[in-house]
Amino acid sequence: MISTLAAAAMALSTIIIPPDSVPPPTGEITIDVVTVNGSGCRAGTAAVAVSPDNKAFTVTYSEFMAQVGPQSKPTDIRKNCQLNLRVNVPGGFTYGVAQADYRGFAHLEKGASATERANYYFQGMSETEYRSHSWKGSYSDDWQSTDKTDIAAIIYHPCGAKRNFNINTELRMNQGTSDKKKTSFISMDSTDGAISTIYHFAWKKCNA
C-alpha cells in the first residue's frame, strides 16, 4: 500500500503550477464540511484537511467501496459521494483547483472491470465535466488516477462571493464475464492509512 508521506510527496512532485498563479497565502486556511451525501459516504466517514503549506487539501474516506459477487447487494455495484465544502481563505486571495489525485485499492477478478469518475465545481456555477478512469481484471493492487485542468480552463472562486465547493465522486463495478462466485471490488478508503484524494490549489490575488 502507498504510505501517507510517500503518496503526498509523489502527488506534489507531479503538480504543474499555473504560471499566472501566485504563491499560497501564509494565513490560516480552514475547510468546513457543510453536507455529506451519497451511498459511499455516510455522515462521519469523510474527513477533510488542508496541507501545512496551503498548496492542497485532502479528502479521506473510510467506507467508500463498490463491489459485486456473493453477498453483495444490487446497490453495491455503484457508490457515490457528494461533498459540499466551505473553504475559508485569507482576505485578498481566491483559489481554483489545478489537479486532483485519486487513489485506493481494487481487487478485480478476470473479466470484471471498475470505474472511478469525478467532477467538482463552485455552488451556483457550471459543473466541470466528469472525468473517468477504468481498470480491468485480473487486477489486485493499489490504483491511482490524476485529473489535470488546462491552465486556461481553471475556474477560480469569484472574489467577494460566498460559494461553497462541491465534489462529486463515483465508484462503479462491472461484473462482466467474471466468476459470479467470486467478489470483485474497488475502494477509495483509508483503511491502510493512505491519503485517498488530494486536490491541488491554484491561487490568485483579488483586486483591491
What is the per-residue pLDDT across 176-195, written as a single tens digit (0 to 9) for each? 999 999 999 999 975 555 55
Q: What angle do CA 92, 98, 101 make, to 5 degrees?
A: 130
Residue 109, C-alpha cell as written in the block: 477478478
Q: What is the pLDDT of residue 153?
A: 85
- 41: phi > 0 → left, psi -120 to 50 → alpha, else beta; which? beta
Contact criterion met (CB below 8 Å) for 159 and 94: yes
Least confident of 8-17, 50-59, 97-106, 113-122: 8-17
Residue 196, C-alpha cell as written in the block: 485517498
Region 190-201 average pLDDT: 72
Contact criterion met (CB below 8 Å) for 54 and 199: no
- pLDDT band for 151, please (50, 70, 90 cuts): confident
Q: What is the pLDDT of residue 199?
A: 94
- The neighbouring-strand residues paired with 108 are 139
- The neighbouring-strand residues paired with 139 are 108
Region 96-113 average pLDDT: 95
